[in-house]
Amino acid sequence: MRQPFYKDNRIVPVGIMLLTFFIFVYHFELDRQGPLGEIPAAAVPNTFVESSRTETLDASVITNYTDEAVDQPVHHITPSPVPSTKTPISSSPSSHSLHEPKGLTTDDVILMFKTGATVLWKRVPIHMATSFSPNRINSNNILLYSDYPETIGQWEIIDILANTSEKVRNSKTFQPYLQQEDYESRQNYAEMSNMPGDAAGPPGGWKLDKYKFLPIIQHAGRNKPNAKWYIFMEDDSYIFLPNLLRHLENFEHKDPWYLGSLAWIHGDYFAHGGSGFALSRGAWEKSFGKDPRIMEKFEEFTEEHGCGDHILGHVLHEYGVQFGETTDDDRFRYGFNPESHWSTWYEPANWCKPVYSWHHTHGKDVARFYDLEQSWDFEKGPLRYRDIYEALVAPYLHSRAEWWDNWSGKYEIKSSIAASAEPPSTVKSTETWRSAWKSVDACEAACISWADCVQWSFYEDRCKMDSMVLLGNGIPEGDSRRQTSLPWVSGWLPRRIENWACQE
């Protein structure tokens, strides 16, 4: 017999209640996680490596040197420096953007990038993966300039010399530009022509650089009039954009500011081009914006001089735009570096200063700087000289290294002058100081006896010592210089460097 309907379905109300409960719980979890099921940041454990630096250096960062006390000489020679097996910087992909400051952002600046046809294919691609990365700066805020038009993916490279006057075109130094079309049409870059790939081009192409600076600045200002700052960089440089943006926040962009690394030629102070520089919109308006014939007016001056950065500095000065570092303002000391990171001196005076650029960078250096910048927590402070030292210099330091010159130079003791060599006031023993020329051990002992010494080098009968640290460079096995020279021996006292404090 068939049972009544209500008896067959008495569990239905209970099922409906359970289903409603599960739907409620499901939606509650979705709301808690946020859009698309993303868990709020506060609920996620921090799995990223902390990148900020403390005020005291961690001794574990400096590797490959002995554990003897720094006041005792080390009586053995180690092989040439090799990088530490410990990775000094994080290469993990960043999940954040540029860490832009609350005020000035990359939308407020134009990055003016200069290259040349003969080096473009060697130097530019690495920047497209690093300096021009969209998580650093929008592509609309980048202008690429060369002396020959090219297209690489989305990037259009502007031939900034295309509209050069007939008078300049007749100049002997301008001829490499006029020859480039013939080199291109004949496929001269091809390796079958016995030319190194990506490096072919008319000789003397570097002479064209001096013609580029004025038209680059003129073009950028005219085509990007809403920019607050115009930042110039060359293809063998790296600009630390987060640091530089915070630096530029200290200046009013409507005023005529011209900031960079101080250089001087023919009585003109100017910003060194390889170090990069920043020009405010106010400076552009006061010079290029005021005079549309500025290029024509300075054609003769350009022809008579050899450096484009000097020519630009001279022109800006003529219109009342002074180079910033000619003042006594502390904001102009350090930051833009004309040397590479391995040929730069690190000292207490710059130890805690922010770094804005580095020159003479190879592709490998650019990649390392980019990785370091992307791993950095700029909310906790800028990248400083000591941070570059920790990441790219300290891993290579040894107590001693053969066939290595660390470019020590503050004091030099040679056999011919040793008897009259007066030591610094902090040297413990005059005899130890004057005996520095006798051997590697004696040179190291002299450095240890001087309280401020952090590195030394020895060659034949010459001992050099310094209170600043520099990496320098070595001569690898198989290099012909090992057959024609006595070995350089260099050494460092890293523990003393660890004790450096910030100087305000």
Q: Which of 311, 332, 353 is the last residue of a domain?
A: 332
pLDDT at 17: 57
CA–CA separation, 306 and 316 (whole Å) = 17
Q: Which residues contact 45 (CB under 8 A, 6 or more apart)?
A: none
pLDDT of residue 23: 52
Q: Are 150 and 137 in contact (CB under 8 A)?
A: no
Domain boundary among 298, 332, 366: 332
Q: Hey, which residues does 238 pair with through a beta bridge?
A: 358
By residue range, what is the domain housing residue 410? 399-498
- Is residue 93, in this structure, part of any structural domain at all? no
Residues 225 and 127 placed together within one structural domain of the fold: yes
Cβ atoms of residues 127 and 113 within 8 Å: yes
Question: Are 278 and 410 contained in the same domain?
Answer: no
Which residues of the chain carry a pLDDT beneath 70?
1-102, 190-204, 325-333, 504
17: left (phi over 0), alpha (psi -120 to 50) or beta: alpha
Q: For residue 243, give the amino acid letter.
A: N
Q: What is the pTM (predicted TM-score) of this model?
A: 0.78
- pLDDT given at position 4: 44
Give a yes or no: residue 225 inside a domain: yes
Looking from the CA of 489 toward its CB, the CA atoms found within 13 Å total: 21
Instruction: Return the CATH number at 177.
Output: 3.90.550
CA within 13 Å, CB half, 88 = 23
Residue 117 to residue 347: CA distance in whole angstroms: 38
Q: E strand or H helix at 412, and its extent? A: strand 411-414
- Read off the pLDDT of residues 344-399 as tens digits, 9 standing for 90 and up: 999 999 999 999 999 999 999 999 999 999 999 999 999 999 999 999 999 999 99
* Total count of domains within the chain: 3
Q: Is the dihedral of CA 307, 308, 312, 313 positive or negative?
A: negative
Q: Are residues 180 and 296 in the same domain?
A: yes
Please name the residue that has the structure tokens 């110039």. Answer: 232
User: Same structural domain for residues 19 and 110?
Assistant: no
Indicate whether 287 and 159 sit together in one domain.
yes
Which residue in the block uniquely carries the two structure tokens 């064209």?
A: 208
DSSP 346: B
Convert the pLDDT of each residue in 187-236 to its tens digit.
777 655 555 555 556 666 778 889 999 999 999 999 999 999 999 999 99
Gyration radius from the chain CA atoms: 30
Cα–Cα separations (whole angstroms), residue 226 to 229, 230, 239, 245, 254: 9, 10, 21, 16, 11
Is residue 85 assigned to a domain? no
Question: What gap in Å lies between CA 213 and CA 259, rounded to an integer?
Answer: 15
pLDDT at 31: 44
Q: What percent of the chain has pLDDT over 90?
A: 64
Q: What residues contact residue 121 under an 8 Å CB cut-off, 6+ apart?
A: 189, 198, 199
CA distances from 30 to 39, 223, 251 (A): 9, 47, 47
CB 201 within 8 A of CB 183: yes
Residue whose tokens read 């590479």: 340
Q: Is 232 helix (H, G, I), strand (E, B) or coil?
A: strand
Contacts of 205 (CB under 8 A, 6+ apart): 116, 117, 118, 147, 176, 180
User: Is residue 73 situated within a structural domain?
Assistant: no
Q: Are residues 159 and 243 in the same domain?
A: yes
- Is 142 in the same domain as 239? yes
The answer to whether residues 156 and 31 belong to one domain is no
The span from the CA of 148 to the CA of 242, in Å, is 31
Which alpha helices (DSSP H) does 255-362 contain, by range? 281-286, 294-297, 299-304, 308-318
pLDDT at 82: 44
pLDDT tens readout for residues 392-434: 999 999 999 999 999 999 999 999 999 999 999 999 899 999 9
pLDDT at position 316: 97
pLDDT of res. 267? 87
CATH at 416? 3.50.4
Decide if 302 contacts 211 (C-beta within 8 A).
Answer: yes
What are the two backbone dihedrals, phi and then psi, of residue 147, each rounded to the nearest 5 degrees? -115, 15
